[in-house]
Structure 1
Amino acid sequence: MKAVFYERYGAPDVLTLQDIDKPVPKSDEVLIKVYATSVTAGDWRMRKADPFVARLFNGLFRPKRVKILGFELSGVIEEVGKNVKSFKPGDAVFAFCGYKFGGYAEYRCLPENDIIVLKPTNMTFEEAATIPLGSLTALSRLRKGNITEGKKVLIYGASGSVGTFTIQLARHFGAEITTVCSTNNLDLVKSMGAHKTVDYTKMDFTTIDDKFDLIFDAVGKMKKSGSKKLLKPDGKFISVNGQTKPTQQDLFLIKELIEAGKLTTVIDRTYNLEEIQDAHRYVEQFRKRGNVSVRVASE
């Protein structure tokens, strides 16, 4: 099978398409024929070893633990281990690989009890592959911020993957949403469900006359000190930085919201697996709206 490897840290050029052996599922695993994956900030940061802590996880001088990137994927189960009960060959699924990565390949084995769920019936494989990381990150941060109906939420960096999912999930929970983004993305965040918008190219959002129960930095660029005067006395500042520890049940909830028409994905661009270097270059520019999908196989 074909897979995208990287054996040294650096620019997108370190990513190379290689032929390797097709994996064989263990007794508790499923073998997924991957139809689509994505490029996220987590992927290019691991490739580049930025921040430095990535080296502590994956090897100080070169990648050791993870050599095939790809946080998330969608595809069809081709084979199941003898002890697998929840899935069968032919099931269309989407999955969060987490820090095991592995989505940049034609096949991926994952344990049955990992974060794998049947694909939403109203989404293509390319759409579904962009869902798990951004939506589960948004869900975990909103829960950490004790999101409830009526709370006032400010989302900084609202037009990216995590940001667009956060808007929709906050709306689902009944929050009042203010977003911060550039002029080009005002219409996008409004279409996602933002009640108010602040164009950071025209004004300093920290000067707005409002107080919030929760401020969420969806891109990891905002200083906590800059949010203090915008928070209510018992308000919380939450950043996207840090690990996400979702469950399979969380992805079930996301699937239900998608099929109910309450959650969707925004895809900026789609690349083929052979174009993975170009996809990484684009995402690393911090200009993408929503998500970037990668087509691994034809549907």
Structure 2
Amino acid sequence: METGKSNIEVNERKKRIIFVLKVLAYFTFLVLQEAIEPDKNLLFSKLYNIVDAFAFLLSGNILVSLGRIFLVRFYLRKKKTNSLHSNFVLGINRIASLLNVIILLIAIMVFFDIDPKEFLSSITIVAAAIALLSRDYIINMLNGLIIMFSDQITLGDYIKVGEHQGKIKDITLLNIVLLNDDYDLVMVPNSLILTANVVNYSRQNIRKLTFDFEATNHSLLNVDEMENELKAKIKPFKEEVQSDSISLKALEIKKDIVKMKLQIQLNNKSRESERKIRRIINQAIINLTGEENK
């Protein structure tokens, strides 16, 4: 966590330097505004619009940056290292980006000498139609902000949502980016995160591996023998696995199949060991269920 906080503070120092440069550029454009006479000719008029648009863009951007810097600085001072989660800073940055986009659009209107109020009032019906068509995207963005300002999951957590699991690499306004065990980047919509069951393994003091599979229902099926065979397969990993934590259960018994669940508790959170154990257990389950079907 200390490293995470240090990284945020380093990024904030860089952003403060950029902020100072934007302030200097803003005052430069203010001086240019005073020096240019827009009524002199058409070229001066166009030049004035450009300077005016950039001055408006920088002024809005400076206000947004000032608010963002103040909020992040207040948050870093208030939060202790062990309770810090970078989602808050990420959420503030996303909101600042949205506001800067809005300011950029207004600056473009200023450049083309368009009154923003008249423009917005003239496209009210069109804007309402666009909002209706993009309803799902808007909801997804709002869900993204909810996730960012929540401390339930954060960057770096290893989670499982639906059939996907992996380490959180990024949280955007549309989705959460997971890096799964196969090193594939998986985009999970924010709406799914808030509606589906999410398991956050990083918040658990223990790490469990769960395997769900089906076995053929017949008179020779012996759960204890199957459990002992699976235990024998992971004996080489006795330092990584708690031997007394291996549990095989019959969840549901049907006419032709029995739904089984195997749980294994790990002593550490090594992804490499977990990957090896998963591979061995998966192969053992395939062998056991394959022999029954012969």
Bucket of the pairwise TM-score, normalised by the shorter protein: under 0.3
Q: Whose strand proportion is higher, 1 or 2?
A: 1
Normalised by the length of structure 2, the TM-score is: 0.24
Q: Whose helix proportion is higher, 1 or 2?
A: 2
Determine which structure has more spread, i.e. the larger CA radius of gyration: 2
Q: Which has the higher contact order (CA 8 A, sep 6+)?
A: 1
Normalised by the length of structure 1, the TM-score is: 0.24
